[in-house]
């Protein structure tokens, strides 16, 4: 294991979201709502989605591990097909792999 300073450049809220994304284990997913709860603001689900989508280093900060509350794959800058591939590659168990 290695570590390095990612040098996040964003608002305080964005960097809190990006830092929390680093705590989602390989092969698991959480909902946008769960991510909002983890950063201490359940009412910020939409803002969480926006910050997640503005992640500048998606290959390192695993924004693809955040899915809809109903288990659907939603929003990914690299395309939903790539999000699905990444999650399958990691062995994520999804309720139902659905792009919509």
Tell me the average pLDDT across 81-91: 93
More confident residue, 52 or 8: 52
Q: Domain map of the chain by residue range?
A: 12-90
Confidence band for 1, pLDDT divided at 50, 70 and 90: low
Judge residue 46's burial from the number of C-beta atoms within 10 Å of its C-beta, 0-12 exposed, 13-18 middle, 19 or more buried.
exposed
If you average pLDDT over every residue of the chain, what do you get?
87
Q: Which CATH class is domain 12-90?
A: mainly alpha
Active site members: 63
Give the DSSP H/E element, type plus range, for residue 89: helix 80-90
Count of other CB atoms within 10 angstroms of residue 44: 19
pLDDT of residue 57: 86
């Amino acid at each position: 294991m290695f570590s390095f300073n990612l040098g996040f450049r964003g608002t305080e809220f964005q960097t809190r979201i990006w830092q929390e994304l680093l705590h989602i284990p390989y092969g698991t997913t959480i909902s946008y709502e769960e991510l909002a709860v983890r950063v201490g603001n359940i009412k910020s689900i939409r803002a969480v989605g926006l910050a997640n989508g503005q992640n500048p280093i998606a290959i390192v900060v695993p924004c693809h591990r955040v899915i809809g509350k109903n288990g659907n794959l939603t929003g990914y800058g690299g395309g939903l097909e790539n999000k699905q591939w990444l999650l399958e590659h990691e062995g994520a168990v999804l309720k139902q792999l659905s792009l919509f």
